Each structure stands twice: as C-alpha cells, then as structure tokens.
A and B are shown apart, each in its own frame.
Chain A
Amino acid sequence: MENSDKYYIQRCLDGHPDDFRYLVRNHQWPLAAYLGGKLGNKSDVEEVAQETFVRAYFSLGQLQKPRSFGSWLIGIAERVAKEKLRERNRFKAMQESFADDKADCSENQSGCELEQAIARLPGQYRDVILLRFYAGRSCKEIAETLDMRPGTVTKTLSRAYSELRRLLSKTAQAQ
C-alpha cells in the first residue's frame, strides 16, 4: 500500500495530476472519518476534505516521507478544519457551542461521538484505528505502512480501544 502512495506521489510530482485520484481513493475515508470527529456534519466534512486534498496536492513537494502521507494529510486537515470552525464561529450566533475543538454533531448525534473520540486519540492510536477501519486495511498492511511489527500493531490497537472506551464513557458522563 505505502509503495503505491509513494509511486503516485512521484507521478503527481512528475506532472500527472490525474494520478492524484489514487491517493484520494486510498485516503478519503479515513480522512473523512477523522474530520467527522472534528466537524460533525457531512457537508462540512466533504468540503474540508476536498480542500485538504487540494492543498496537499500543491504541497506534495514539501512532503519528506512519502510513507507518512496519511498522517501528513491529517496535519493539513487539522489546519483546514480549524479554519472551518473559526469561520463557523464567525457566522453562527451560537458561538460557544462550537468552540475550536468541539464538533457540531447536531445532524448526526449518536454516529458522531465515536469519530469525535477518534479525533482526540493520540496520533499513533488514531492512525491505526483510521487505517484499520476507515481505510479497510489488515493489521499486516498497517504494519507495513507504519513500519511496525505486526504484534505492535495489534497491541496499539488494543490500547487504542481502551483509550476510545475511556473517551466515550467520559462523553457519556458529560451528557
């Protein structure tokens, strides 16, 4: 998988913008899920995801490790999402409820808590969850992508579950 990322990144850099679609295809769902946790409503997620990919495309030359394209993308997405939230804050009257890192889950209350929790996971836990479920990769593929031993991937996954459970129960208590 990571080889294909690397290959397509090089193709894009060589002036084949259409090949960027393979990178989008590989990363759009994990990115959308991550943004779902940040932003909640689907139309914003799509808008921010698009913008993220477009910015990523034009910054590809700055990407140092092609194998970490996914986390790099999330870094860009985080900035774009922040801009989106700020914009939302400016235009919506109920500003307080949309403070920077909180999500607007009004449209999709129950489906969104999970993504919110994912968005709050430490980076490595988050990446493993996104790859496993949202990019539909096997633990073996994740191990290759993240350059880990397979055992480490499953351990990380276990810890990520624990942490997710903790975050979710915290949210449940808060409500």
Chain B
Amino acid sequence: MNCTKCKEILAAYIEGLVEDTERVELEEHLNKCPLCRQELQEFRTLHRKLTDSSRNWQQTDIENNVIKRVIHGQNERLRQTSRANRLLDIWRTIMTSRITKLAAAAVIAIVVLFGIGQFFGGTVTFAQVIEPILNARTLTFDFIVGQEEDGPVIHDIVVGNKIRRTFSNMETILILDLDNAKMLTLAPSSKSATYIDIKGPIGEQTKNLMEFVRNAVARLEGHAVEELGKRRINGSDAVGFRVRSHDEDVTIWADSRTATPLRIELKYGQTCYILRNIKFDVPVDESLLSMDVPAGYILTEQEIDLSQFSEQDFVITLRILVKHFYNSKFPDSLGLEDFMNFVGHIQEEANELTMSDEEQVLLGMHFSKGFMFFQQMGPSGIQRRYVGKGVKLGEADKAVFWYKPRGSKTYRVIYGDMSVKDVLPQDLPK
C-alpha cells in the first residue's frame, strides 16, 4: 500500500470500518512509514478533539425557543392574513354599494350634531328653572351618552356658537362653528386636519345654538316641575328638579346656594344622557376654539352632504357592523348609546386593521350615513324598532329591524340576511 491510499482510508480505520485484508495491508504500511504513522496520530487527536467539542455544543438548547417563535410567528401571519381578508371584505361590501362622495369624519359628526340637537332640548328645561345657560358666555361640561357613569365621555367647551369637543375613547378633536355650519377635525397623532362643511337638514338644525335653547324652552313651558329634594353632588349640596314632556324627561341637579346646575340627566325618546361637571363662565383659552388649522397640521378639505342618505346606507352599515365588528351576531341593542361605544371601538379596529387614513375616512363617512338614516327617525317621529338581539347574520327568517316610513301604510322590515321587505302592520314580527 502506498502513502496516498493509506491516507485516504485512515478515517475509516479510526472508525473501525476497514475490512480485514485491507486492514492488514494498512497496518503493514504504517509499521514501515513514520510519516503515515504521524498522520494517523494527528487524525486520532483531531477525532478526539472533535468529539470533545461536540459535547460543548450539545449543551445548546434552542429547541423550545425556536418553537415558541415559530408558533408565534405563524399565528401572527395568520392574523395578518385574516386581517387583510377582513379588510378586503369590508371594502368589497362598501364598493358594491352606491356611494357618492362621502364626507370625512361624518361618523363623528352624526354623534355631534344629533347630540347637540337633543341635548339642548334637555338643557332648556333647566333654563326654565335657572337661567345661566342663556346668558353664559362660556360653558364646559362632560357629556355621557347612556346611563353608564364610566362610559365614554365627551368633553365640551362652548363659547357662543362654537364648540370644542374631545372624546375619552378617541383622539379626534372637533371644533364646530355652528353659525357657519363648519367643522374642523384634528387628529393629533397623524397631524391631519379636515374642514367639513355641514350641509343638509342637520346644517339647518344646528345653525344657531341659542335658538335651539329658546325653542326648547318654549316647548317645555307649561309642563309641571317636580321637586326632588336634596343630595350631595361633588361635595356640594344640590337640589333636584324633574320636568317631563311627552318625549323628554329631564332631571336637573343645581347647587342649592347658587342655583347653577351641577348635573343634568336627560332622557330623550329611548336614549339617556348625563351631563356632569358643568361649569359656567369659566375662563377659556379661546384659541382652543379657533377654526384656523394649527401649525404643523396637514389640511384636507371635505364637504359633507348630509342631505343624502337612505335605507340602503343603513343596511350596508348594519351588515359591516355586524359582520366585522360583532362577529356576525347582531348586537343586543342599537341606539345612540351603542353607537357612542362603537365609535371608539371602530377606530381601534381600524387601527388594528391598519387602514390608511383615507380608508378610515371612507369607512367613517359610510357609517355615518347609515347611522344618520337610523338616528333621524327618532326626531322625525318615525316609528322604528330594533329586534336584532340573538339573531345571526344570514338568518333570513328573523327580523332585526323595522320602521314605518312617513306616510306609508306598510312597514319596512330588515331581516338577518339583510333583505328588506314591505310588511303589513298585522304581519309585523312579534
């Protein structure tokens, strides 16, 4: 055997894998060749070192960490895929509907404007008892839709016919100029500002805040004032009054010494409002109510046409709401209070779905139209009823909502599959 052949099989020899005849030849060569003997020696040393070194690395345990990360990553990807699919689905629903130019942030505008209309209907009662609201130059208060004291809070600063409105459950700031039916919305995190022209019937309604108050006062005149006695509110002694008209039920708690209102509870139709931390004529930084776009904000102009909304807007809104935000199960109730909770929720969801600003605006605009359709029925005296509790999206035989259009003899009934039918009064779902 020569040295070349010998070197080639040395590794096999160390492993004990050389056959007998070849091993005899190899060992004969090794006996004669000191260089190959040395090579064998060195290979053996290497073999030992490698074996030792491998023990070092066998202490490395990365298995569990890798699996954790893999499973986490896998779930994250699945979530993103389902997010993307959900988003796509939302847009598909919207895009197949008749959408004209939808206006920015109207989702909030609806709450704002209907809120104002109804709220000042209520404060007025108050104005019968004490007058500061009519004469106050500034007014600040917290405003809750619903009866939950810890529900989302709207904070209003009112100076004349301007209102600055902030929300506990979203970052958007609204500044309303009611004389000119204009609104400025500010999104601090993205530094974006939007001007909104408020047109249509709501624009008319909100034109003059003080007019509202006076009209509402007039409406409530002649109703009996019930005295509720005393209680402590925020450390002050308060006296309570309650005034009820056919669709308003207003309770006012006023400071027993100064007669200024501390808290107002208002029930208007089926919706409740709480106004608290009310303060009159406190100093207000009026630049907070400026309609000028603050430095550093990017402005986009939008026009809201609030005169155009239809049953179809409502049907589409309801479908998106139920499918994408309520897991395809109709919510227990549907009213301004639910909507207030929902507004905060939808903004969170929109962020989660990583919608672009533009998409968020579009979604918001769409929702507001749908909701407007729903909400305007109350003040317009249209009979309506939400009966969706427990119904699942797609259940064609279960009604979720019905209403009676003005002047119509039949009712419009919306079913769980979002179909709409005309139904005679005697056939209305129980």
A residues engaging B (CB < 8 A)?
17-18, 20-21, 24-25, 28-29, 32-33, 36, 42, 45-46, 49-50, 53-54, 57-58, 111, 114-115, 129, 132-134, 136, 139, 150-151, 154-155, 157-162, 164-165
Contacts and interface: CB of A to CB of B under 8 A. Distances in A.
Interface in B45-90: 46-47, 49-51, 53-54, 56-58, 60-67, 69-71, 73-74, 77
Given A17-B70, A17-B74, A20-B70, A46 B60 contact: yes
B56 A157 contact: no
B8 interface: yes
B15 interface: yes
A134 B54 contact: yes
Which has the most chain B C-beta neighbours within 10 Å: A25, A28, A115, A133? A133
Given A29-B60, A45-B60, A136-B54, A157 B11 contact: yes
B12 interface: yes
B36 to A, nearest CB: 12
A24 B62 contact: yes
List 6 A-B pairs, minimum CB-CB distance, nearest first: A154-B12, A157-B11, A158-B11, A133-B50, A53-B66, A32-B57
Interface string B4-28: 0001111110010100000000000
Contact of A161 (B11, B17, B65, B77): B11
Interface residues of B, number: 34
B66 to A, nearest CB: 4
Contacts, number: 108
Which has the most chain B C-beta neighbours within 10 Å: A17, A36, A46, A151? A17
A92 to B, nearest CB: 23
Contacts of B62: 24, 28, 32, 46, 49-50, 53
Given A133-B51, A150-B17, A155-B11, A32 B67 contact: no
B60 A28 contact: yes
Given A24-B63, A45-B60, A114 B50 contact: yes
A42 B77 CA distance: 30
B43 interface: yes
Contacts of B54: 29, 33, 133-134, 136
Interface in B154-188: none
Contacts of B56: 36, 111
B53 A114 contact: yes
